[in-house]
Structure 1
Amino acid sequence: MRASNDHFLIWILCALCLSSSLSSGFTPDDNFLIDCGSSSNSTVGDRLFISDDFSSNILSNPNGKSLSTTSNVSSSSPLFLFSSLLRTAKIFETTSKYNFKIKKQGRHWIRLYFYPFVSGNMDLSLARFSVSAQNITLLKEFQMDSGSVIKEYSLNVTSSNLVLTFTPMVNSFAFINALEVVSVPNELIPSSVPTVEKLVRSLGNRALETVARVNMGNETVSPNDDTLSRLWVADGPFLMHNDQVIVGKFVSNLTKVNMTRDSEIMAPRSVYGTATQLGADADANANVNVSWSFDVDPGYEYLIRYHFCDIIDLSLRSLSFNVYVNSWKVKDHLDIGKLTSGILGAPYVLDTIASPIDSSKFKISVGPSNFHEYSAAILNGLEIMKISNSRGSLDEPSFDLDSKKVSNVKVGLIAGLVAGLLVAAVLATLVIVLCRRRRRLALVRHSKEEDNYGVNGRESKYIIGSVGFSSSKIGYRYPLAAILEATDHFSESLAIGLGGFGKVYKGMLRDNTEVAVKRGTSKSQQGLAEFRTEIEMLSQFRHRHLVSLIGYCDEQDEMIIIYEYMEKGTLKDHLYGSELPSLSWKQRLEVCIGSARGLHYLHTGSTKAIIHRDVKTANILLDQNYMAKVADFGLSKIGPEFDKTHVSTAVKGSFGYLDPEYLTTQQLTEKSDVYSFGVVMFEILCGRPVIDPSLPREKVNLIEWVMRKGRDQLEAIVDACIVEEVELESLRKYVETADKCLAECGMDRPTMGNILWNLECALQLQGNERSLHLKESSSQADLSNSWEASVSTTQFSTGSAVDIAGVSMSKVFAQMVREDMR
């Protein structure tokens, strides 16, 4: 009997231990909680923060000053819970370090608490300092004017010590109210994550900074209710409105959550038990997405983590929906039931990496899936974490031209010293370069296509021959050191774009030439193929409406292409998604004409056509005078032989712009570019993205929406920025041309020459209609003569034509041919 009782007691003890283990969640191996500047310990919830006065073995500068205040953080602030920690601070007037002995290597959280209070004659808002840890810059020249904040970072600690360094700026000081260094479960941050472009990024040694941690359902979750002591703020302030109405509905159902230890690590029950929902019973506008907006720093990549848990009663509907960040579709037809193996109420986490190319904001959206007739959409929680850049920084100061000049002077001095040891080699290189340049100039001067070379009338700087390419190609191979100097070692503050090939940076060569530098992400076979294709294409073809190649670099496995710098950026940025000024209707017509000239030259400028294969507004750049130039030839393809009608090749291009005939048959022709150009024309006219998931379902796809509107509702589709200045006849000619470009069969589409002809006509009609408004009392004969005079003095491009009485079409055509041959 006693033995039986002993077994029963053992069973009870085991059960209690198991229960304790489940309730306690995660116990960190390293758990440093420091109340800085305090003379006593402080308790926040069930966590004990130790005074750094009792931690002299951790703080390297025990002479740091302690400061205190009686003021409290506002009771409405999410940080009110930490008021006891924020009443004191440690002040450092010299570089100071906290040195933590690490028991277990791996991911650790560093949390820094800041509250710039005033005490006596000390105002902490005047502090300006930097903070680093393990060679990672956490804060650079940091300064807080007011408020309070917790900065949270995730570092992969790879040694037995973690040193946290505070460095005051000149004539300033540093401060800290409290800090944490806590180990976290290894499974919290995956080793690699796919990007929105479906590439895989490694996070192994990258540091992260928490930018946003939000609980949907508009409820704040306290650190006391989180296994890992995280603060989750309510999503209400981040929700975006649709026509002044919030389309999301807050729901809560904690009893439906089926938690496990692993899901407790990702987020607490109180996060998975609440949600913001969009669906048929949530709002009448069920055909739109529910969206949230978050401010982020441009120039960085971000880990975005979506938390899902099915806590709603679907009845006859299906919980299958789409997930977006900005215009990217992260997940199509996300079905939580399938992803959780049918376990009801089981949490699901979706990770992706994205970069806010066009703005300093992320728009997070969930919306209905077309896969189901009736579909709800929910989001339970969201985390956004900044990823450290290649220089090991999470906080780059804004680019300063003066500081760059100082940096360049230092680089120049070092380079001069090194050059002194290599004078002979440098002189030999210069002799070779000069000889090649003379040879190239001699060839160019005797070339029949002399006017096609150079940029804006300037002499071209290219030499014959390039390493790794055919000797018949024209190019210039730049040393990596020169490119690093030009881009300040690829500073994120100089990043001006991001594409499938890699990032684009603004650079300045030593001769003060501004350039755009495109750096490939890796030397994969696909990336290498695009790299070679673009250099060879741009080396052969020169035209005023094609972006010019300056050079390239393939040292140390780099794939770098250098172009002329286009000051006004992409056409896309002047249409939507940025704060750049909108283009007038006349400017848009001229941009269309310039782009069409560039494409027409590609299609007809050599014995074989060159098919661009990625025509879109992001690949049309504008110079300082808003002249359009076609760019990005990485996907370009040489056209068919004379006895062939097409090139059979795998489908490549950009979603929304792809020729449906090419998509289904894999048969590529110049008419595939024509289709894409038609999409671009409507994008220019309407001033909106080709695909915009934030719009109502019937407007998501631009081309489908335009086609539904029809020719009787032309004015309804025109961008509001230009609707008052567009003349009806010009608009009709433009839309008629764009509509023909989108013909289902490629044979029915016009050539780029025909498109040019019609675009010139639309531009003339725009000018003529204005004269009609100004001269309503004039006779019809006078108007006809005025129109004829305006046409006869206008320069046309190859393939443009206007059906105007009294104008000799043969003379106009001859003039157009001469213009395009230049």
Structure 2
Amino acid sequence: MNSATHLASILVSLSIVLCSITNVRGGYKPSDSILLSCGGSSDGNDADGRKWVTDTNSKFLPGSVKSTVVTADYQDPALPLPVPYMSARVFTAPATYSISVNKVDRHWMRLHFYPATYPGFSSESAYFSVSASGGFTLLSNFSAHVTAKALSLAYVVKEFSLPASEDGIISLTFTPSDKYNGSYAFINGIEIVSMPDLFSQPASLVGFSDQTLEVGGVGLQTMYRLNVGGQYVAPSNDSGMSRTWYDDSAYLYGAAFGVTNEATDKVRVDYPDAEAEYIAPTGVYSTMRTMGPDPTINRNYNLTWVFSVDGNYTYVVRFHFCELVHTKVNQRVFDIYVNNRTVYEDADVIAWASSKAVPVYKDFAITVTDGPGDDQLWVALHPSVDAKPQYYDSILNGLEIFKMSSSTGNLAGPNPEPSQMLLKAEANLTAGSFKTESHSSSVIILAPVGGVVAAAVVIAVVAVLYKKKGRMPGNDSNGMWLPLYGHSHTSSNSKSSISGKSSAGSNFANVSAICRHFSFAEIKQATKNFDESLVIGVGGFGKVYKGVVDGVKVAIKRSNPQSEQGVNEFNTEIEMLSKLRHKHLVSLIGFCEEDEEMCLVYDHMAHGTLREHLYKTNNTPLQWKPRLEICIGAARGLHYLHTGAKYTIIHRDVKTTNILLDEKWVAKVSDFGLSKTGPTMNQGHVSTMVKGSFGYLDPEYFKRQQLTEKSDVYSFGVVLFEVLCARPALNPSLPRDQMNLSEWAMNSLKKGALNDIIDPVVKNQIAPECLKKFVYTAEKCLLEHGVDRPSMGDVLWNLEFALQLQETFENGGSPSADGADASGSFASSSDSVSLTSDETGVSRGLDDPAQMSTTAVFSQIVHPSGR
């Protein structure tokens, strides 16, 4: 062979290899991808553009199988698209799908259930089991209705991973329960997608350092799949396997939220081989959560997540790591704990991966017993002090938790238990009764709702979870919403039918399915015919009355016909809150639209508004630490609005009277009548008529009529100064230079005279470093241009850090008082610390290269935009 021929042969071979790599890097190409729309009259596409084929007359369901095809009576606003949820196939006797697949691969199996009302079938009667070939029991005595009601879901998705089928057939059998008369089984959609061998490596067995557990030959159920430090990753953005990755912030325990960051354009995830790309997509490895800039604080706490699980099963916990900042061994070293057991000491991602930006993962298997309180799984990270790393910090990019099938092939867990108050309210609603007995009101009514927040496990579950662990702080502001894997998410196609005022709530058919529709007679009974002695507030919409519904205290907002806020705000409030459920957002219980009356029914907030505890009130003014905790709670609520759903929600009326406090002083953001869905990535802003409250209004929004989430950040900055100074945002009775709080505070800050305007009640309570951090945060929120302001996620991190500084001070610590002199006067933070940047890209103070300076709080890592 001559040299030219040899060279040509090499080039051809190289091109084949390159093409092969290119095809692989384009994502996994499943050999089987079967999407069945059960009961569908024709094929159709879902919200991710995937084609679902009808199972009618298909080869997968024998003609001898007796079934009924039904269509849901209504489409929940939270459904992404009708396919595959609006049609269902119902079985009153055991029925089996037989689906031909390749014999080599494992397969994902996803079962989609929409527990709506179907003609001739009540969703409450559907109790059934689902089994798969290979001897696997996937669901037992399962009720999609109970699950959706208890967990506030619009629809339910169960995901399993089954080992390769020996005969090339996956059989899926639906069996109505014999425990309930009239039970039936139903299914809306079935997905079967082949998958690469993601479980070829054994998992390290927790508690047995020298033992491992083989995972490849067992059935698995996906319990949680989280993009740690990042946002929701849609199935269409996965590595070809249509997996869904959720934000992890809902599961974080305690006040330590850590810092989230995203890789810059200069840092690209570098998979070590083609197979590694299938483990998790770049959207997971390019974001991360770390502990924060202060090594002293980091040494004294764990970065912890908490999960509810089924007892008496073994779980595989998969940690995903990708070091995006450091480049050397022993720069960031940490220990990993699962259920308070050390599973790995001195973890060093660079040592594992040998390079920056290279993904790695670690699997650990742990058995959760079935004893009292053993229904949680705790994951924690802590800096390894013994290793003496350069930076005392921890890192995590992604987390997955899989339930392993038992020795008998069982994967089924119990149905979640719904709130007794919810059951009682539902029973009363069905019976048309309305009781107002005045017994304990400690239970909150929570309506079943849709949307990404509607995937929330009710806060009561969180409270029980923490109390069982014996770690429920009396004033803990964490907990938040807990979306279980596979639940619904907001889509651009989700629309409500709300369209203006009418009688008898005819325009609220869809919303009635997800929050309670009260009659006007019920509202009058609850408020004793709107007794003026029950008025607890007056707002732009109208008066707010205290009332009682089924023994539970509620707040009822009644519209004022003369108010400027009318039908549009009423509709917006219902549409927003019927889809939102979060610990730091006020809960909407229901509404009334009848006889030209519009009323909204909320949880009652025992301690009223934040403003009522700051100034011009008979209440005792709040001390500093509770004020700071309330600010953190409100920031969490706003951060969720901006990032927790698929589309940004801008509140547009952030102020101290719209921050409510419950009986435990937990802050909840309220009044969504002016809220707007935020801009898309291509828009950058929403052009809209200026609305809001003067004193809190973003001047850039006022001038340009272009709304962004940074308008909420500006308003929140005013709230922070209002909390610090205990005076209104606007006070016309003061001299001109003092009328506007934001202008007065900023001017005082520039003059170094901020100490003169701090509330005397708390002036001597605030730790100097806490004050520095708090004021710096408020100052940045009030910057003239929105693009220069921090995100709410950054604001939240800084307030949490300020709280840590305050607690350190109160516990006898002595943080540096740089920026505050002995008299407590305060210089502008922008002038108090000079910065440099080391080779890691992290800005740090010159005086202490091991710690990040306070002025670097919005650039903790290279590019902190991935919240």
Normalised TM-score (structure 2)? 0.42
Comparing both structures, which one devotes a greater share of its residues to helix? 1
Q: Name the larger-Rg structure.
A: 1
